[in-house]
């Protein structure tokens, strides 16, 4: 029996830029998914979850097709299927038990943590020789092919490469990255769960991907590009007239401006300018609300209420949007008031109890018991 753990993540800034080849700035959490795995002689993959009632069984002697009704087991099944193809098949069956403490639907990448812990575990057990980056890429391919979400690589990458007390400044086009220490004396990263679950597979996420592809096609008639993130702000200003569809124009403007905000935010954090970092978080939320239209009433309410609370330096939605969490920088002495004020207003206006977590930045995927 072997046990493995992979974390969820929170993205501090740089949203919906990853599949556009841009910069992101996430960190791994100490919350995630634990996988306990043993081999069996049944030639069956048996998926159990401490968080779900059903047990799913798949024969290893049959073609690994995505399961119907978008069952949660598609996440690990897809990773096993892709890895099995790389190594020429599985030697036996496996019993797997997954247990996660990342709130589902909170936009903290519970799905990526399942994918990465599975890919890492089978890579270790079968001596497949994949690097952490290749594990992230395999997990991303699983998300595309078995979950139907055309996501970027950020979530899987940080779950693979996370480092305690550091954020990852990642170029999603080249996969070059730097670890940046997160030093914010007297300030904590506070996650607020809207309990309005996001659903990336509902179609709106994939719609944003298509809209960005349309923007690239329009701009390329004037300036050949492959990804929106190739454009600087000045370059975008020179070609934005080619975006004759106002919706497509807004989507592209968000991506270009968000890449620039992310660069500025990293420089601010490295120089200890947390005030500027917080202001850029606020601007990021506004762009996601107005230009990318992925926030919605509940996330806007949480962020905009946070902006009015003493001791809050910045607050924005994090993750894919359409529900999920906000991430806020809050001075430690003001956290109780932050919870009370934001929680009460949110309850009054939505009837929903928000949930708050003080984030701890953890390490990437690892074996915790061999």
* Active site residue ranges: 155
The two counts, helices (H) then strands (E), for the chain are: 10, 12
What is the side-by-side strand order in the sheet with 187-193?
312-318, 325-331, 187-193, 355-358
**E-assigned strand segments in the chain:** 2-13, 23-40, 44-49, 56-59, 93-100, 166-171, 177-181, 187-193, 312-318, 325-331, 355-358, 366-369
Question: How far, in Å, are 24, 34, 160, 172, 290 from residue 177 at the CA level?
Answer: 10, 26, 13, 9, 29
Please report which helix (H) or strand (E) contains residue 339, including its range: helix 335-350
| C-alpha span between 135 and 68 (Å, rounded) | 25
| C-alpha span between 182 and 220 (Å, rounded) | 38
What distance lies between CA 7 and its chain's CA centroid?
11
Length of the chain: 370
User: In terms of Cα–Cα distance, which of 162, 31, 37, 135 is closest to 79?
Assistant: 135
| C-alpha span between 365 and 361 (Å, rounded) | 13
């Amino acid at each position: 029996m072997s046990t493995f753990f992979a974390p969820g993540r929170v993205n501090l800034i740089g949203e919906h830029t990853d599949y556009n080849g841009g910069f992101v700035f996430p960190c791994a959490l100490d919350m995630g998914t634990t996988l306990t795995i043993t081999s069996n002689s049944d030639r069956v993959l048996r998926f159990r979850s401490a968080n779900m009632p059903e047990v799913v069984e798949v024969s290893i002697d049959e073609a690994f097709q995505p399961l119907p009704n978008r069952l949660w087991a598609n996440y690990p099944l897809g990773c096993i299927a892709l890895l099995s193809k790389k190594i020429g098949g599985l030697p036996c069956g496996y019993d797997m038990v997954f247990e996660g403490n990342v709130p589902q639907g909170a936009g903290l990448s519970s799905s990526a943590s399942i994918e990465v812990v599975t890919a890492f575990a089978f890579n270790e057990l079968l001596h497949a020789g994949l690097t952490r980056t290749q594990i992230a890429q395999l997990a991303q391919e699983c998300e595309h092919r078995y979950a139907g979400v055309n996501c970027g690589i950020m979530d899987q990458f940080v779950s693979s490469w996370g480092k305690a007390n550091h954020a990852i400044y990642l170029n999603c086009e080249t996969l070059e990255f730097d670890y940046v220490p997160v030093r914010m004396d007297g300030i904590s990263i506070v996650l607020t769960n809207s309990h309005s679950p996001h659903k990336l597979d509902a179609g709106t996420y994939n719609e944003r991907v298509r809209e960005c592809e349309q923007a690239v096609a329009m701009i390329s008639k004037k300036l050949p590009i492959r990804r929106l993130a190739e454009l600087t702000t000045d370059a975008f200003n020179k070609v934005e007239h080619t975006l004759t569809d106002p919706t497509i124009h807004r989507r592209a403007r968000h991506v270009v401006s968000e890449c620039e905000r992310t660069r500025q935010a990293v420089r601010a954090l490295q120089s200890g300018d947390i005030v500027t970092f917080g202001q850029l978080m606020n601007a990021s939320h506004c762009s996601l609300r107005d230009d990318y239209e992925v926030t919605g009433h509940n996330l806007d309410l949480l962020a905009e209420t946070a902006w009015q609370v003493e001791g809050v330096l910045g607050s924005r939605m994090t993750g894919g949007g359409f529900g999920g969490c906000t991430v806020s920088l809050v001075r430690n002495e003001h956290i109780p008031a932050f919870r009370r004020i934001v929680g009460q207003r949110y309850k009054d206006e939505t009837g929903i109890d928000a949930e708050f977590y003080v984030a701890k930045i953890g390490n990437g995927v690892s074996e915790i018991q061999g």
